[in-house]
A and B are shown apart, each in its own frame.
Chain A
Amino acid sequence: MGMRTVHRDKKPSLVPPPAAAVASLVVPGFGQMLTRQVWRGLLIMGSLASIIALFIWRVNGIAHREPTLLAMINRSLQRRPLFIVIVLIGIVLMWALNVWDAYRQAQPGKQPGTGIFILIAVVFFVLGWQISEIDLEKAVVELPDALPPLSRVLWPWEAAFTRETETVSAEAPILSPCDDNPPPPPEEIPGEPYLVAEPTCGDLSDLDENNDVIPGTTLHLIGRGFAPNTETQIWWEDPIGQEFRVRKEGEYLTVMTDSEGSFETDVVMPYRLIPPSAEGRLIHFISARQTSEVGGLLPSEPLMLTIERMVETIFLGMMATAFGIVFSIPISFLAARNLMSGSWLSLLVYYLTRTVLNIIRSIEPLIWALIAVVWVGLGPFAGIIALTVHSIAALGKLYSEAIEGIDAGPIEAIQATGATSLQTIMYAVIPQMIPPFVSFSIYRWDINVRMSTVIGLVGGGGIGFILIQYIRLLDYRAAGIAVWFIAFTVAILDYVSSEIRQRFV
């Protein structure tokens, strides 16, 4: 539709002003229609009707247990007084304004005012506020809840590095139950850590018929030759090779070594369910372990994983772009109007190609990824398929527009020099096509890398895949590392691609 001047002389009203006012009082907008302002009347009628319908729907949602509408409104008024009052006043005001507007419209020579439409917009805004559950108070009061994860995401680098650890340990055998021949304590080697338990045999804790614990034998542990003034953990290994930390009154038992690297403590033999096949003379081991950080910083597992996945993401985007380019070039010729307007058949192909490209392009890559995951399973290949499909459609459209934009002048000029058709393509067509093609392709790579981070969220591989896992595990530091790497990569790629594009166009 073209521009038209709206300032026309108003046609005279069909009814006198009071009649129009009464008509609008009974049915809002009806009076305006009678004054031949049909669109204005329909707009007012439609707005008021939908506002009342939305209002009843919300009231029903707030107080759905009440039997009658009036009771519902009454109840809602107690729960959400501000909302109900504003909307009710709005409706009443609108109704009144609509009557006054109809009266005015029926008078000759009056220009239509916009006051009623501003009021309609305000009431819709209030309804929208309530429907979309905006709660500023909650946003302010519960802001502190968001701060710990936010600070971890914003500064995740403590989790990016770890130190190598070294464990110093010594163990002693414990026989259970005791017999005439308890195992000897281990031999002490000077300079090596050494642990001795007294006695070297005893009974494990057990449960009676009321599930009360019968404590086992108390062992007196003496350790020597450990690192001084260091936390030492006590571990237990049962005959079937299972290891666990020994507890004392519910807490893990940790002792501090003295300045000479020695310690003494008492341990009650723990409860163990020994399988019947392992009955008999069973040797357990009790050990003391010191773990200390040695050496320099090492990249942590989340950091390494993030870097690996980031590389995967960049290549995922690159492969999808490459496939997209390869497939979209031939398609773009079919979608270029100047090439396809020769006959009705080629024109049909043109319209068909354009329509299919538009449909594919209007479906988000996220949805293509969901389909691709069902098709080829989780992983980067699914992401490549999703992005390729979308790239073909997007690039096909851009390329075909570049072809349509080719200047026929140079073609004519090269032909006039006596060049062959192949030479004409090389000298007049290709030089015109390459810059937009390169520019669009690089831009698409940029888009695809950004998209592939999102594609990962639904299982399309790449960094998005681990990002969503970290978020679900509430590991905000690891998630923060991934977020930062995405931001770095996108920023660098954005810069590089715009630089390259500037040189080409």
Chain B
Amino acid sequence: MLEVRNLTKVYDDGTVALKDVSFQVEQGEFLVIIGLSGSGKSTLLRCINRLIDPTEGQILWNGIDVTAAEGAELRQIRRKIGMIFQHFNLVKRSSVLMNVLSGRLGYTQSSSLFYRFSPSDRQMALDALERVGISNQATKRADELSGGQQQRVGIARALMQQPEMILADEPVASLDPVLAHSILGYLETLNQEEGMSILCSLHYLDLVQRYANSVIGLRDGQVVYRGTKKQIQSMTDEEFKEIYGEEAIRVGVGGEI
């Protein structure tokens, strides 16, 4: 459903963030991208929904070239791709409900400009909050919630898009390990029960081994590793160091080292 072909991104200051990256995401896949900070993971995810314009290459979403899409066409593509972020990116001073409802903006007409939503949209937002277990927090301000709760609001917002795929940029990097499993658990449920494709960047190998269907490893903007679920389970420290560099030490999540 998503095919990335020879994607290259060079920033204005000359930094090469991505270099000739190609891969595919199949319907219902849980693809994890691993790599050091600065290896190009965030840039790659943001190129897919064009928050960043790639320099070269193609991104095919259900056969449509995302890199060439503009205006209404681009928005149609974006609304089918949900996104969650490391720092949650909620509007802190707005209510939880309003943050969730804003996920519906790709579908609504101009009435939403004045913060008005149809009753069905509101019901949908409450249902989404119910699904992530925080329906009792709907009227609170977003910044009154804990980090884990905020990320669940982020997921609820993505659900409002009725997405076919979710991009998750380091969704658990700001959370402690217990919450990390809780958040990734929601993504896994969506992946397994609703067949949503998940494209997620992660840091910890233990989490990768636990949740990924397949993995690509990025280093200096290039794909240096591709592995299936099976290959990941048996990944050695040598392969790990190949991706993360010689200085890397394997740090476990949940106590195992």
Contacts and interface: CB of A to CB of B under 8 A. Distances in A.
A435 B89 contact: no
Interface stretch (A80-88, A406-414, A486-494): A406-414
Given A418-B105, A427-B102, A413 B85 contact: yes
A205 interface: no
B83 to A, nearest CB: 4
Instruction: Report, nearest first, the 8 A-B pairs whose CB atoms are least far apart.
Output: A418-B106, A418-B79, A409-B89, A419-B105, A413-B89, A418-B78, A416-B83, A418-B75
Contacts of A409: 85, 87-89
15 contacts: A410-B89, A410-B90, A413-B85, A413-B154, A416-B81, A417-B82, A417-B104, A417-B105, A417-B157, A418-B75, A420-B105, A427-B91, A431-B91, A432-B93, A435-B93
A422 B91 CA distance: 16
A427 B90 contact: no
A432 B51 contact: no
Chain B at the A interface: SS class: loop
B49 A416 contact: yes
Interface string A433-454: 0010000000000000000000
A412 B154 CA distance: 13
Contact of B94 (A416, A418, A420, A431): A431
A413 B157 contact: yes
A423 interface: yes
A426 B167 CA distance: 24
Given A418-B106, A418-B107, 17 more contacts: A412-B51, A413-B83, A416-B81, A416-B82, A417-B79, A417-B102, A417-B104, A417-B105, A418-B75, A418-B80, A419-B75, A419-B105, A420-B105, A423-B112, A427-B91, A427-B102, A431-B94
A419 B161 CA distance: 11
Contacts of A427: 91, 94, 102, 105
A435 B141 CA distance: 13
Contacts, number: 77
Nearest to B163: A417
B51 A419 contact: no
B150 to A, nearest CB: 11
Nearest to B167: A416
Contacts of B78: 415-418
A213 to B, nearest CB: 87
Contacts of A416: 49, 51, 78, 81-83, 167
A416 B82 CA distance: 7
Contacts of A410: 89-92
Interface residues of B, number: 35
A412 B112 contact: no
Given A412-B51, A423-B105, A417 B161 contact: yes
A331 interface: no
Nearest to B154: A413
B28 to A, nearest CB: 21
B128 to A, nearest CB: 13
Contacts of B105: 414, 417-420, 423, 427
A417 B115 CA distance: 16
B40 interface: no
B217 interface: no
Contacts of A426: 113, 115
B76, B77, B102, B167 — which one has the most chain A CB atoms within 10 A of its CB? B102
Contacts of A432: 91-93
B221 interface: no
Interface in B64-78: 75-78
Interface string A445-466: 0000000000000000000000
B93 A431 contact: yes
B103 interface: yes
A19 to B, nearest CB: 59
A500 to B, nearest CB: 15
A196 interface: no
Contacts of B93: 431-432, 435
A428 interface: yes
Nearest to A415: B51
Taking each of A416, A420, A431, A435, which has the highest tally of chain B beta carbons within 10 Å of its own beta carbon?
Answer: A416
B79 A413 contact: no
Contacts of B113: 422-423, 426
B102 A414 contact: yes
B157 A412 contact: no
